[in-house]
Amino acid sequence: MPTRPSRPSDSGDTTVRKTALKRITAPSRPAAAPAKPAPAPAPEPPKPPRETLSLIDPVEKKKPSTSRAKKGGSILPPISRIKGASEPVAPEPAPVDEPPAPAAEEPTTAAAPETAADGEKVLHLKPPISVKDLATHLSIKPFQLIRDLMDMEVFASMNHMLDREEVRKLCELHGFKFEPEKRDKEKHGGSQPQPPPPPPPAPVAEEAAPKTIPGRPPIVTFMGHVDHGKTSLLDAIRKARVAAGEAGGITQHIGAYSVEVGGSKITFLDTPGHAAFTAMRARGATVTDIVVIVVAADDGLMPQTLEAISHAKAAQGVEIMVAINKIDLPSANPDRVMAQLQEQGLQPEAWGGHTVCVPVSATKGTGIPQLLEMIQLQAEVMELRAPTSGPAKATVIEAQMEPGRGPTTTVIVREGTLKVGSPFLCGNQWGKVKALIDDKGRQVKEALPSTPVKVLGFTGLPLAGDLLEVLKTEREARTISEERLAELRNEKLAAPTRATLETIFAHTADDQPKTLQLLLKGDVQGSLEALVHALGQIESKKVTLDILHAAVGPVSESDVLLATASNAVIIGFNVKVDSPAAAAAKRAGVQIKLYSIIYELLDQVKEAMAGLLDPVTRETVVGHAEVKQVFDLSRGRVAGCMVIDGRIARTGRARLLRDDQPIYDGGIATLRRFQDDVKEVRNGLECGIKLGDYSDYEPGDIIECYTLEKVQQTL
């Protein structure tokens, strides 16, 4: 009886198995179908159907009902055996997740560009496309494509539009296969576009950890020659007639302005020449991110322009851009300006270099959008970031006394959020933020990074470049301020410690590279070039000679400021020193050396370079003594010795040798001849020697006496 009902059930099982097998084996992923009915009796049957494909849902809904109507246990084993015969990996749920994994991993390697079947990266674009946009798709910098185009005899800028053939060649150079955008749509029509998007977030999540710090606006400083249009250019950017109200057309004070461009902000500093820029750098302030050198297209590079370039180069971590102004004038010659820039080591990007040069006209507004776009692009490359949480830190731009307000200070927030009511310490001054006024004259409650604000609440005037730090309590700020003021009073009593040619080696740290920094001023261009060439001929592998700035004319106050910031020495050849420069050098302790004979100048520079080198310790052996007998005295053990060569000096050092191996190395505590203390004992005489705290002498030991002296190195 039990065998008969099992046959029809087996035939029914066969029918069910065939029907299920047709649906199960059709796609590749339904391997999960047989594994899901097993947990059907459990209290969590709804979860497995959500994880399976929609093709299997109707089958899974019917199969449990069939298994319940018949003998549930008799149906499932045959199906699993059939499934196991067709797909051996299917019985376990873990392998079920393995087949879709490769399908999802193939598009993952493509990321933004897809990957072809042969593993080559495919980039789908629709020409024409600009050099800048193509560089973004290839994840490289635009100047690399400009160099590649120059090799292809195509001279292009960042905004040059590339045709299909140029795009194809550039893609091949950088390991990509170019396909037009139409074929991209066909690919997405045939294959599933949904699987590629989910995998990319995984690597992005890993990279997001260091980028949790939010970005901040760039801080830009305009520098250049007088009347080349720095303030007018900034005025054109701000679209406000601020420049017209300044006396004589020359900027009277530092202004900090925040301008919104295309939804993002840029903070501009308008400096009086470059004196304030250097003064802040002399106190260690790194405020500026980008320096824009403004050059008039009709005048070209002028003396103050060269000084501005030298100041910008000396500041570490600052990018340099060039705005070629006044291109609307008939005498404008931008190509001549770019050629002069190349001579100064600033190769224009349009010529395959790294320096961005933008032709602009401050009066007509020509090129202003392009300049702002390049500033934003440079800021994106620099990836400027600053935390908005935590104690705020800001850098002082200017400070002044205002009637009715007292000490007011313009600062730029570097990190954190500066809020009203916060106690702070700034240099040797302290205070509590009573009010914050933005660049438009409005009172605000807080200021984010790269935001310029005027701070009220100082107890005294800080210096430009001082760091403002928010502390927990006013008491803490007051205590530290008083300590710093006391240190400042003590420092004023001490002599200035600026570098001099005679003592410059004393101001170079041991862990820093040995570099002698000079500022050269000559009477004529010919003698200046000869001087630079002669200094360049000084060869030394131990010391490098760094000429920060070389120009024709007398030593000016600007030269003293640069020397102060860089701890350099000013060398003048057949020139004089301006009275303000002499006074500034005396205050700052900067050394100015004037020469009229080039050989004398070169000799002293060589001596200064040699003075940078640390002295070498030289050891000189002066004599040996042999231990003949050991005496135990009340004051300790003493070695009775015979001097066998040279002399034994009381002020020298001694090394105890036993079997030619050093046992002790140190000073000589006592040196006696009979009962008398002596300074030295010469060859052939007996003496008693006690070596420091050492007492384990043995007959036959050799005491070697030597001296140490420091010898100055040579180049």
**Contact assessment for residue 601 and residue 571, using Cβ atoms and an 8 Å cutoff:** yes
* Residue-wise pLDDT tens digits, 30-71: 444 444 444 444 444 444 444 444 434 444 444 444 434 444
Mean pLDDT of the chain: 75
The DSSP string of 574-615 is S--B-HHHHHHHHHHT--EEEES-HHHHHHHHHHHHHHHSPP
- The residue type of 338 is M
Q: What is the CATH number of domain 515-612?
A: 3.40.50.10050
* Residue-wise pLDDT tens digits, 421-447: 999 999 888 999 999 988 888 889 999
Q: What's the token pair of residue 123?
A: 């980039």
pLDDT at 15 over 60: no
pLDDT of residue 223: 84
In DSSP terms, 520 is beta-bridged to: 550, 571
pLDDT band, residue 608 (cuts 50/70/90): confident
pLDDT of residue 494: 58
User: Distance between CA atoms of 259 and 371, rounded to whole angstroms?
Assistant: 13
Q: What's the token pair of residue 700?
A: 């036959």
Q: What's the token pair of residue 618?
A: 């030289």
Half-sphere exposure of 633 (CA within 13 A, CB side): 14
pLDDT at 693 over 90: no
CATH superfamily of 616-711: Translation factors (2.40.30.10)
Q: State pTM to two decimals.
A: 0.47
Helix, strand, coil shares, percent, the chain, to 5: 35, 30, 35
What backbone torsions phi and psi does residue 696 show, to the nearest 5 degrees? -90, 65
Q: What is the DSSP letter of 551?
A: E
**Contact assessment for residue 519 and residue 571, using Cβ atoms and an 8 Å cutoff:** yes
Q: For residue 649, what is the enclosing H or E element? A: strand 636-649
The region of weakest confidence among 83-92, 397-406, 423-432 is 83-92
pLDDT of residue 503: 55
* Residue-wise pLDDT tens digits, 642-652: 999 999 999 89
In DSSP terms, 122 is beta-bridged to: 114, 177
pLDDT at 203 over 70: no
pLDDT at 11 over 70: no
SS (H, E, C) 618-639: EEEEEEEEEEEEEEEECCEEEE
Q: Three-state DSSP class for 665?
A: strand
In DSSP terms, 268 is beta-bridged to: 220, 257
pLDDT of residue 392: 92
Which residues, 6 or more positions from 114, have their beta carbon under 8 angstroms from its beta carbon?
Answer: 107, 121, 122, 124, 184, 187, 196
Q: What percent of the chain has pLDDT over 90?
A: 19
pLDDT of residue 278: 62
The DSSP string of 254-314 is -EEEEEEETTEEEEEEE-STTHHHHHHHHTT----SEEEEEEETTT-S-HHHHHHHHHHHH
pLDDT band, residue 706 (cuts 50/70/90): very high
pLDDT of residue 285: 53
Q: For residue 182, what is the enclosing H or E element? A: helix 181-190
pLDDT of residue 95: 43
Which residues, 6 or more positions from 269, have their beta carbon under 8 angstroms from its beta carbon?
Answer: 219, 220, 221, 222, 254, 255, 256, 287, 288, 397
Residue recorded with tokens 């990279």: 207
If you average pLDDT over each of 47-51, 275-279, 502-506, 662-666, which comes out highest?
A: 662-666
Q: What are the C-alpha distances in Å from 340 to residues 122, 312, 528, 548? A: 42, 17, 18, 18
pLDDT of residue 357: 92
- Greater pLDDT, 316 or 279: 316
Q: What is the CATH number of domain 212-385?
A: 3.40.50.300
User: Distance between CA atoms of 95 and 98, rounded to whole angstroms?
Assistant: 5
Residues in the chain: 715
* Residue-wise pLDDT tens digits, 347-387: 888 888 888 999 998 888 888 888 998 998 888 888 888 88
pLDDT of residue 286: 67
pLDDT of residue 501: 61
**Is it true that 212-385 and 393-494 share their CATH fold?**
no
If you average pLDDT over each of 149-153, 225-229, 633-637, which comes out highest?
A: 633-637
Q: For residue 545, what is the enclosing H or E element? A: strand 544-552
User: Distance between CA atoms of 479 and 461, rounded to whole angstroms?
Assistant: 17
**Domain residue spans in the chain?**
122-180, 212-385, 393-494, 515-612, 616-711
pLDDT of residue 117: 52
pLDDT of residue 153: 75
pLDDT of residue 192: 40
Q: For residue 528, what is the enclosing H or E element? A: helix 525-536
Angle at which helices 131-138 and 164-173 cross, to 10°: 30
Give mean pLDDT, residues 192-216: 50
pLDDT of residue 635: 81
pLDDT of residue 156: 76
Which residues, 6 or more positions from 292, have their beta carbon under 8 angstroms from its beta carbon?
Answer: 220, 221, 222, 223, 321, 322, 323, 371, 375
* Residue-wise pLDDT tens digits, 288-301: 889 999 999 988 88
pLDDT band, residue 401 (cuts 50/70/90): confident
Q: Residue 635, exposed/middle/buried by CB under 10 A (0-12, 13-18, 19+)? A: exposed
pLDDT at 541 over 80: no
Q: Residue 129, exposed/middle/buried by CB under 10 A (0-12, 13-18, 19+)? A: middle
If you average pLDDT over each of 179-188, 244-253, 531-540, 565-574, which comes out highest?
A: 565-574
Residue recorded with tokens 């297209």: 297
- In our burial notation (b when 16+ CB lie closer than 10 A, e otherwise), range 203-240 reads eeeeeeeeeeeeebbbbbbbbbbeebbbbbbbbbbbee
The region of weakest confidence among 131-145, 180-194, 272-286, 659-673 is 180-194
User: What's domain 393-494's architecture?
Assistant: Beta Barrel (2.40)
